[in-house]
A and B are shown apart, each in its own frame.
Chain A
Amino acid sequence: MNEQANDRSENEMPPDLLDKAIASIQRQTVPAGPSPRLIADTLAALDEIEQAPTTFLLLIARTRVMKITATAAALLLMASIATLLILAARSPSSAFGQAIKQVREARSMSYSQFMKMDGRDELIVTKNFIAEDGRRRSEQPGAGPVTTIFDTNGFVRLVLIEPTKTALVREARHEHAINAGQMFLEWLERLKKLGDIPDKELGQMERDGRRVTGFVATQGDRTFTLWVDSTTGDLVSIEHDSLVNDKPTHITMTDFRFNERLDDSLFSFEVPAGFRVRESAAKRPVRDLLGDGEKHIIEALRGYTKRAGGKFPTSLTNWGLWAVLFSKDAQDDVLDPEVERVMGHLGAILPFLVAMPKENYAYRGNGKTVDDRDEIIFWYKTPDGTYRAIYGDLSAKGISAESLPKK
């Protein structure tokens, strides 16, 4: 199966010179062959090789063998000791340690990243720059390019869409909120915590014209494969698996440059000349989002409990449960409008939750029903420091911190 279209789709550009050259090769008319003469000559050559002797025996006196063996063993022992001493300074594990040290001690960094999602052959390619203060720039080539700039807390602050000369500007957000930028660099934090000794060495191979040695190391639930230049000790690539948009994704990072001087303009939040500013929906005040969130939870839970005999779901974010329940109503895979409405509210819950620190909310509906009218099903802390709760009868009101359910 030819994935050439997929290769091109990573850039989504019209056929270029390379594509045209490939097409020219593929369209070549291949003359008939091989000729009977060529086949005969080939078979003759193979027959000649098959007939040639491939083994021989060396016969020497037994005593001579034993003397040679003893001497060889002694020499081998001395050579081994010498080799071990020499290699200790250049051992594979020290090559690994050196590579981790490069990452740990880097003040700034740039690298290329290739993401491949399960079931899809095209790669998502980005070029990433990380400044000493943690700001990051991510450039995605292709029909774009599209450039995204993140602040020191990992929040998106500026998106530049080149083809339309459009800039999306986003305000700074609460530094403790979960954000995609922080999650994006989570691999880096885990890598820095790796020890100097790998879990496993993979041996050597050739990659892009370089001789590299591979190592595997695990930090928590993340396993990294590092490829290090066997000659220079430079880090060549890092591979690991992650979830992107809930899809298993294999990520490869290469072309590392450490401590290069990165111009501050790469990370500027200023809109460049020639770009039109388009307001991003994410600019809406956090308070607005939170107000909507309460409404979304109530409506989603209302829809769920109607279908579940009054029971609340075990989770607000495990959509699998909801999907199973609501699919029972689907006829020929078509959902009725009411179900679609409820699912819409469900989809709006996650952004509401991720906008808050985890300790600022809790869902307590597991095991409860609508008959538990006075039980708190969900509570959260508002931006102004007060608390609100949703009850079993799906009413909502403000509560004091002392009224919060104990864990």
Chain B
Amino acid sequence: MVDWDAVVRDHGPAVWSCLWRLLSDRSDVEDCFQDTFVAALKVARRESVESWPALLCRLATARALDRLRKRYRQGGCRRSGDDQVIAQDRLAEAISTHAGPEEHAVAMELVVRLHAALAQLPDRQAEVFCLHTISDWTYRELGEWMQMADSAVGVTIHRARQRLRTLLDESR
């Protein structure tokens, strides 16, 4: 029997942080926060969970990426529309307060563009890239979790980076 109270309170902050980095929007993060734990419950019903942090991080990443895809399908990839304006307002709060105005604006724009680019990657590629680059998973951890060889993880990340570079250049 899982003590969900303990799981949510102990691991909630890490899930919150993971989601915020990928979404930067409070309402999206809150929705995905709940979805993440609901998905974890379904997993826990099927199998014994060895590592809650790893499971929750992966589920959170997948949900965040789904939400990005939905966001950019609705709002397009350009900086226009109410959804984008709201996202940018959130970003303005979130970006480091130590940055000067120009740095602030540049950082904000890069984050939005990277989110939009991530939404265009194939599902698995985006997930592997985010878990490695943003959540600091090692190749070995990714390989074990996703049942891929370390080298296959490396190739996937390499391809993701190539594609993201192209998308970022195209979105200038």
Residues of A within 8 A of B (CB): 1-4, 7, 10, 16-18, 20-22, 24-31, 33-34, 38-39, 41-43, 45-47, 49-50, 54, 114, 116, 121, 123, 125, 206-209, 237, 239, 250-252, 254
Contacts and interface: CB of A to CB of B under 8 A. Distances in A.
14 contacts: A10-B158, A21-B113, A24-B107, A24-B108, A28-B24, A28-B94, A28-B111, A29-B95, A31-B26, A42-B34, A45-B38, A121-B150, A207-B152, A208-B159
B97 interface: yes
Interface of B: 4-5, 8-9, 12-13, 15-17, 20-22, 24, 26, 29-30, 33-34, 37-38, 41, 45, 93-97, 107-108, 110-111, 113-114, 122-125, 132-134, 136, 138-139, 149-152, 154-159, 161, 164-165, 168-169
Nearest to B147: A205
A46 B38 contact: yes
B95 A26 contact: no
B168 A252 contact: no
B20 A30 contact: yes
B21 A30 contact: yes
Contacts of A25: 21-22, 111, 114, 134
A47 B2 CA distance: 11
Given A17-B110, A29-B97, 5 more contacts: A18-B165, A25-B114, A46-B4, A46-B37, A114-B154
A42 B33 contact: yes
Contacts of A252: 151-152, 155
Contacts of A54: 45
A3 B139 contact: yes
B125 A250 contact: no
Contacts of B156: 207-208
A24 B115 CA distance: 11
Nearest to B99: A27
A20 B106 CA distance: 10
Contacts of A116: 150-151, 154
A29 B132 contact: no
B171 to A, nearest CB: 10
